[in-house]
Homo-oligomer: A and B are copies of this chain.
């Protein structure tokens, strides 16, 4: 997706040649293309096999890392998604029985969200499949390309944080 997009500041030349693109732009377009394609596949499989969405999967993944639960605001910060959006996601997960809302011991404003037993085992099933999908999508790259890619993406991510 978006594969062919080449935003440019110069018109197509008379012979139909496209002007050269800056490396940064080409990186971004490939990044977007790969991510969108993989994301589409993962979303579709999550929907087919587990009748869920990537956003809900992400919430479960966070909660799996914190057995004691997280407050709504903490989930919001971890996922970098607005407070109101988290309320909606947790509503759905709660009505599926995958998470519970509990009172906070000290602060009565705070709601603690935790995985239920069912939620944990369901998430584990999803995570196993998720790993299989990703390995089959990314695993064709050589080991060298993989470690290079991981290293460069880590650098990129770090430089984004600096902004």
User: Among the listed B31, B124, B139, B153, which residue makes an inter-chain contact with A9, where contact means beta carbons less than 8 Å apart?
Assistant: B124
Nearest opposing residue in chain B for A153, CB measure: B30
A154 part of interface (Cβ distance < 8 Å): yes
Q: Let me know if B157 and A33 touch, CB within 8 A.
A: yes
A102 within 8 A of partner (CB)? no
**A127→B9 CA distance, assembly (Å):** 6
A1-19 near B? 1/0 per residue, CB < 8 Å? 1111111110010000010
Majority DSSP secondary structure for residues of A touching B:
helix
Interface string of A145-163 (1 = CB under 8 A from B): 1111110111111011011
Within the oligomer, what is the number of copies of this chain? 2
CB contacts (< 8 Å) of A152 on chain B: these are 141, 145, 148-149, 152
A145–chain B nearest beta-carbon distance, Å? 5
Range of interface residues on A (Cβ < 8 Å): 35 or more
Chain B residues within 8 Å of A6, by CB: 61, 65
Q: Sample 14 A-B pairs with CB under 8 A, ordered by A number.
A: A1-B80, A2-B58, A3-B157, A7-B123, A8-B127, A12-B64, A22-B131, A27-B149, A28-B138, A30-B153, A35-B36, A38-B160, A145-B156, A149-B149
